[in-house]
Each structure stands twice: as structure tokens, then as C-alpha cells.
Amino acid sequence: MRVLGVDPGLTRCGLGVVDGLPSRRAALVAVGVARSDPALDIDQRLLAIESQIEEWLEAYAPDTVAVERVFAQHNVSTVMGTAQVAGIAMVAAARRRIPVALHTPSEVKAAVTGTGRADKLQVQTMVARLLSLDALPKPADAADALALAICHLWRPAGALGAPQRAPGSMTAAQRAWAAAEQAARTRG
């Protein structure tokens, strides 16, 4: 399976494509950052990011797009731009009928580092290790996009954050795993 990870941002939007390999391994396909000029009006900035995401979808033909779920932060203008870019990524994927999955930052951190409280350097280090890279992926937005793709690859079908499936399409074990994860999220 090929996953395009999108770490949404209005100035820098991380993009990372990873292929899933047997034995829960992953291989880097491409990594980069879509950028927009802060001096432009918001509509032109969104158009610039959208155009770059479209180019990545066309060039790499992912099976799924994994987008970071946007949470409210203290800076409302930052959240708005981030949410708008996340929406653009989802629409671009939907236009091509590519399933979209949303993953929380702590879910992604936990998937690649073992803890949902990992810092940027820990995420970059583990992404480099998991993808057998010679150097840390930079900037952090690019590393986060790769981490999103890896997180999604490692999610069982039907788990939270996975593309929606018909209820009967999950095995009993997958349903139990998803229920346990939901219960853990509710407590945590």
C-alpha cells in the first residue's frame, strides 16, 4: 500500500509518500514541503498549496491519504489556515476517489516513537530509523508527513483513523482492537 501523509500548514505543508512492505516495514518514496507566500491573499495561498498537493497525487498515485487531524490551539488564525489546508487535501483526494484517514498528533507520535508525547526531534529520529534514511528528514513538517504515512500503514483495517469500511468487513479481532482503542481514548 502507498500512503501520502499530509501535515497541513498554510506556509509549509509537509508531504511524504511511503510504501508499505512486508513484515511491517516501510520505504520512502518521496518527501517534501508545499509552500505558499505569506504576502499573498488567503485564497491565493490555498490555491498554491492545493496545486502542489494535486501534483503529488498525480505523480505518486497513493492508495490512501493520511491527514493530521486539526485540534484547536491558542492561535486561532493558525488553526484556521491549518484546517483549511487539511480540507483542501481531503477534497483533492476525494476528487480522485482516494480514501482519506485522519490521525491525531499524539496517535502519530505514539505509532512511530512509542509515546504520544514525543518531541519533534524524537519523531524525526524515529522516522529516519524506520525508513533507513541517512539523515533526519527536514523540515519537521516533512518528517511529520512521513510519520503520518507510517502511522497509517501500521493501523489495522477498520481501526480508528482508518478509512471508513462497512461494519461487517472487519474481523472479530479488528472490531475488538478498535473497541479497545476507543475505550482507551475515552479514558485518556
Positions at the binding site for Mg(2+)? 7, 68, 141
User: Does a cis peptide bond (omega within 30 degrees of 0) precede residue 163?
Assistant: no
The catalytic position among 50, 54, 107, 141 is 141
The catalytic position among 50, 68, 107, 144 is 68
The catalytic position among 7, 50, 107, 144 is 7
Query: CB of 145 within 8 A of CB of 31?
Result: yes
* Cell numbers that stand for 178 in this block: 478498535
- The binding site comprises 7, 68, 141
Q: Is 144 a catalytic residue?
A: no
Helices marked H in 12-139: 42-60, 76-95, 105-113, 120-130
3-state secondary structure of 34: strand
Q: Is 7 a catalytic residue?
A: yes
Q: Is 58 a catalytic residue?
A: no
User: Does a cis peptide bond (omega within 30 degrees of 0) precede residue 22?
Assistant: no
Q: What is the CA radius of gyration of the chain?
A: 16
For the chain, what percentages of helix, strand and coil (3-state, to nearest 5) are there?
50, 20, 30
Report which residue type is found at 155: R
Report which residue type is found at 175: R
* Cell numbers that stand for 132 in this block: 533507513
Residues identified as active-site: 7, 68, 141
